[in-house]
C-alpha cells in the first residue's frame, strides 16, 4: 500500500471523494499499472480520473508504462 500512498499527491482529490475503501483505490491503480482489464468502481464519481492515472503512470514510467 505504500506505493499507492506515495502516489497520493499525484492525483486530484476528486478521485478519492466518495471512495470508502483504500483497497478499492489500490486495486484499480494496480490493475491499470499492470495493464490488466479493470472495471471502474461505483464509488468513483468521475471516470475521467482513469485517464489522469494513466498520464501519471506514463510520466513516471510505472508498471507497463516503464520504457526500460
Question: Does residue 14 have a pLDDT over 50?
Answer: no
Question: Residue 16: which of 33, 28, 32 has the closest Cα?
Answer: 28
Mind listing the pLDDT tens digit for each residue in 18-35? 555 667 777 888 899 999
CA angle 30, 44, 49 (to 5 degrees): 65
Residue found by looking up cell 466518495 in the block: 18
pLDDT of residue 11: 56
Mind listing the pLDDT tens digit for each residue in 40-51? 888 777 788 888
- State pTM to two decimals: 0.68
Average pLDDT score over the chain: 75
DSSP assignment string, 34-58:
HT------TT-S-TTHHHHHHHHHH
Residue found by looking up cell 475521467 in the block: 48
Question: Residue 64: which of 36, 39, 27 has the closest Cα?
Answer: 36
Amino acid at each position: 500500500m505504500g506505493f499507492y500512498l506515495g502516489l497520493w499527491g499525484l492525483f486530484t482529490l476528486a478521485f478519492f471523494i466518495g471512495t470508502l475503501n483504500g483497497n478499492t483505490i489500490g486495486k484499480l491503480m494496480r490493475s491499470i499499472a499492470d495493464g490488466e482489464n479493470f472495471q471502474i468502481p461505483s464509488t468513483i464519481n468521475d471516470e475521467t480520473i482513469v485517464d489522469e492515472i494513466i498520464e501519471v503512470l506514463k510520466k513516471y514510467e510505472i508498471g507497463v508504462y516503464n520504457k526500460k
